[in-house]
Structure 1
Amino acid sequence: MKKLGNVIIIILLASTSLQAQRDFSTVEITSEKLTDNVYTLFGAGGNIGLAIGEDAAYLIDDQFGSLTEKIVAHVKTITDKPINFVLNTHMHGDHTGGNENLANAGALVIAHENVRKRMVSSEEPQPKEAWPVVTFNDKMTLHLKNGKSVHAMHVNPAHTDGDTYYYFPEDNVIHMGDNFFSGRYPYIDLNSEAILTG
């Protein structure tokens, strides 16, 4: 049994090492227009939401830090508005990896309070610049200057304990993060206090 445990540990360490060495040089950022001012961006990791307000761009999640330059460059092909806000759906690195870069460029990072708690107390803590500086506990509304709004709604622990949906009521668009996986059952992260019910 001890040998099996050692093999599992080695496999876990190898997969962690491979993730750390992942090559993002070939990743292409693409997008799909959903409404006049809401887009979804694709790359590597969780999909990114993009909302364009009157004077600013709002990103929902930001994939991996190594992709920030490509993401920003692609956003510039859609709008000349600066990315002033980053909204996180939860704390996993394929959704928050660009927080530090975007915060250093002037964006305000917003997320559920459990996202910040997990990023601060993680075994591999994120740099302070990556932590959300505005948090909420149940729901929050952002009013874009174009007369539209973004509603943040915390959901009961499902994927993690910081899961948030971002809903654009005027555009009839919802960004669900990892609470929805197309064509397969969602991953439940028990280490992040997700709850199994049945």
Structure 2
Amino acid sequence: MLQTFVRICSLFVFAFIASITTGYAKNDIQAVTITPVKITDQIFMLSGKGGNIGLFIGQDGTFMIDDQFAPLTEKILAAIKTVGGTHPKFLFNTHYHPDHTGGNENLGEEGTLIFSQENVRKRLHDGYFIKEFKAEQPPFDPDGLPVVTFSKDISFHLNGDKVHAVFAPHAHTDGDSFIVFSKANVIHTGDIFFNG
């Protein structure tokens, strides 16, 4: 009896928190600031709302990791310019959650090539359910889908470095990847690692 009561109370608390954060997210998007953090001369992190964005800029173009939410795309593109980047030539999705893929359609419509592990594309193509938030995510339009997928790993040779993306099975989702910048000795983990 006590366990049932605790579970019901927990569900109400979770639902209350989810409703507050959902309302906050909708109302607060205009107040979000995209902040660049320099990691190396060519690698930056952009923080805003949701997952952190990785940027690798150089002569071969801008390589972007994740893209947060669609309403933030213009702010993200403006922040990329402030660190010397150009419109992203490549976008890599570390997994399929909306705070990492929400800007896909905006960027895909403008010609950015999107890459991901094959399970990410499947979820974005078919739609999916996030049980933690009890939320249904509808299928993406074709412009927002990854055009290149891989099963285990893929390498990009650009901007003077080897960028190696590796599938991490049984992680945060069934499509998580982490990215290693070999020469720079930098790693981007998506949501495989949380700090805080």
Deviation string 1:37-96 (CA, Å, 9 cap, x unpaired) is 101110000000000131310110000000000000010111143311100000000000
Q: Does residue 181 of the first structure (1) align with residue 194 of the second (2)?
A: yes
Per-residue deviation at 1:22?
Answer: 4.0
Equivalent pairs, count: 178
For 2:179, the equivalent position in structure 1 comes to: 166
The AA in structure 2 aligned to 1:127 is D
For 1:34, the equivalent position in structure 2 comes to: 39
For 1:149, the equivalent position in structure 2 comes to: 162
CA contact (8 A) 2:58 2:85 kept: no
Specify every segment of 5 or more residues in structure 2 that has no aligned partner in the other structure, as ranges: 128-135
For 1:93, the equivalent position in structure 2 comes to: 98
For 2:147, the equivalent position in structure 1 comes to: 133
Q: How many Å separate the matches in 2 of 1:98 and 1:19?
A: 19
Q: What pairs up with 1:2-151 in 2 under 5 angstroms?
A: 11=15, 14=19, 18=23, 21-122=26-127, 123=136, 124-144=138-158, 146-151=159-164
Q: How many Å separate the matches in 2 of 1:106 and 1:88?
A: 16
Per-residue deviation at 1:121?
Answer: 1.4
| Identity of matched residues, % | 48
For 1:186, the equivalent position in structure 2 comes to: none
The AA in structure 2 aligned to 1:51 is F
User: How well do the aligned residues superpose, as a CA RMSD in angstroms?
Assistant: 2.2
If the length of structure 2 is used for normalisation, what is the TM-score?
A: 0.83
CA contact (8 A) 1:58 1:86 kept: yes
CA contact (8 A) 2:89 2:111 kept: yes
Per-residue deviation at 1:128?
Answer: 1.9
Q: Residue 29 of structure 2: SS of its match in structure 1?
A: coil
Q: How many Å separate the matches in 1 of 2:93 and 2:167?
A: 11
CA contact (8 A) 2:77 2:87 kept: no
Specify every segment of 5 or more residues in structure 1 that has no aligned partner in the other structure, as ranges: 184-198
Per-residue deviation at 1:149?
Answer: 1.5
If the length of structure 1 is used for normalisation, what is the TM-score?
A: 0.82
Q: How many Å separate the matches in 1 of 2:139 and 2:27?
A: 20
CA contact (8 A) 1:112 1:154 kept: yes
The AA in structure 1 aligned to 2:49 is A
1:158–1:73 Cα change, 3 Å: same
1:149–1:53 Cα change, 3 Å: farther
